[in-house]
Amino acid sequence: MIQYSLHCSKGHRYDAWFKSAAAFDDQQARGIVTCAVCGDGAIEKAPMAPSVARTDGEKVSLSSAHPDAVKFREMVRAYRQKVTSEADYVGDKFAEEARKIHFEEAEARGIYGEATRDEVAGLLDDGVEFLPLPDIADDN
Ligand SMILES: [Zn+2]
CB–CB of 41/34 below 8 Å?
yes
pLDDT at residue 14, as a whole number: 84
Helix (H) or strand (E) holding 5: strand 2-7
25-35 residue pLDDT tens = 999 888 888 88
Ligand 1 centroid–CA 60 distance in Å is 25
Ligand 1 centroid–CA 8 distance in Å is 5
pTM: 0.47
Rounded to the nearest 5°, which phi and psi values hold at 66? -70, 145
Q: Three-state DSSP class for 4?
A: strand
pLDDT at residue 139, as a whole number: 52
Please list, in sequence order, all residues whose beta carbon lies within 8 angstroms of the beta carbon of residue 95, skipping any fewer than 6 positions away. 115, 116, 119, 120, 122, 123
Mean pLDDT of 48-65: 60
**Strands of 21-78, DSSP E:** 44-45, 51-52
Ligand 1 centroid–CA 38 distance in Å is 4
Ligand 1 centroid–CA 94 distance in Å is 54
Ligand 1 centroid–CA 52 distance in Å is 24
**Strands of 8-120, DSSP E:** 13-18, 44-45, 51-52, 88-91, 111-113
Ligand 1 centroid–CA 25 distance in Å is 19
- DSSP, res 64: -
